[in-house]
Amino acid sequence: MSDIYAKIKELENEIQQKKKQLAELRKSVPEKQVQNYKFITFNDEHVTLLDLFGDKNELFIIHNMGKNCSYCTMWADGFNGVYHHLAAKAGFVVSSPDAPKAQASIAAERQWKFQMISVKEHSFTADMGFRKDGHYYPGVSTFRKDEQGNIFLYAHAPFAPGDDYCVPWHLFDLLPSGSNNVKTKQKLNPHSPFQLTNQIAVGVNNYEKAISFYQNVIGMKLEQTFDNVSKLTICGISFYLEENEENPVFFEFSVEDLHAAKNFLIKNGCTITKEYSSTSVRVKDPFGLTYHVYESYKGDPKRPTYE
């Protein structure tokens, strides 16, 4: 038995040395200057590649295949858990071929903290080597910028089940059953159709002062301003302030089928207090709580998944 443990330790040390050699070998690859690509974020904002660096000089861009790929979702869930560590070192953004609306939907459902950009019908992914013959592939590209604002592709790596970029695979391998027949889950709540998002809305009776308070006292970041509504963020939570004398506070659920969800809620004593659109309503439950329920954007069901 001691011989087996010795062999395991020897192999582990060999793998660690190989990883160090790989990291050094990547550093020897000449970096390549790239253009300042333009993107649309999941908030429908126009940004450039340079914008994505934020106040950092280095940048990660994850190449995700989209919401139809459950493995890509598991990678993104992992990055979300350590996002604050990654973002302290470099800019961090996830790209996918989903439309911005689809990205916003899955980001809210899974409570992702990072920014997303849409690369639908965009040359960027192919230029980075992660789109070939019309198919998207998962991976990561890293960049740096210089003082003049020039951008350089520094390194890239593909993703695959069992790689170093997704922790669960290595934990699965420590189980007797290993990683065989692993089924990744698309929904955080498997017990009902209702998925709690990371968005909260608050009505205030002094709108301008409230924005200043939540920015300067609480430390929230102002992201967007609309007509009488402002979006702020803190700790990965989107906090919407709106002018409303009644001071309501309500959270949000996403569902796959709003019509079925409405009928189910009404049957169980809820009231629909406002219909924003055919896919979005405000609901009051039997206990006086108010919340927003919307139909999750389904995207393109025909796009192939990684599985």
Cβ contact 131:137 at 8 Å = yes
- Distance between CA 267 and CA 270 in Å, rounded? 7
142-180 pLDDT per residue, tens: 999 999 999 999 999 999 988 999 999 999 999 999 888
Beta bridge partners of residue 130, listed in sequence order: none
200-237 pLDDT per residue, tens: 999 998 899 999 999 999 999 998 888 789 999 998 89
Share of the chain above pLDDT 90, in %: 74
Largest CA distance in the chain: 74
- Distance between CA 287 and CA 73 in Å, rounded? 35
Torsion of CA 138, 80, 87, 92, to 10 degrees: 30
Cβ contact 307:160 at 8 Å = no
Q: How many CB atoms lie within 10 A of CB 24?
A: 9
3-state SS, residue 185: coil
3.90.650.10, 2.30.30.180, 3.40.30.10, 3.40.50.9100: which CATH number matches 24-171?
Answer: 3.40.30.10
50-107 pLDDT per residue, tens: 999 999 999 999 999 998 898 999 999 999 999 999 999 999 999 999 999 999 999 9
Q: The pTM is what?
A: 0.86
pLDDT value at residue 305: 34
Residue 162's nearest CA partner among 186, 142, 131, 138 is 138
Residue spans of the domains in the chain: they are 24-171, 195-295
246-256 pLDDT per residue, tens: 888 889 999 99
12-61 pLDDT per residue, tens: 999 999 999 999 998 899 999 999 999 999 989 999 999 999 999 999 99
Cβ contact 280:295 at 8 Å = yes
Token duo for residue 184? 């990744």
Q: Kindly report the CATH class assigned to 195-295.
A: alpha beta
Measured in residues, the chain has a length of: 307
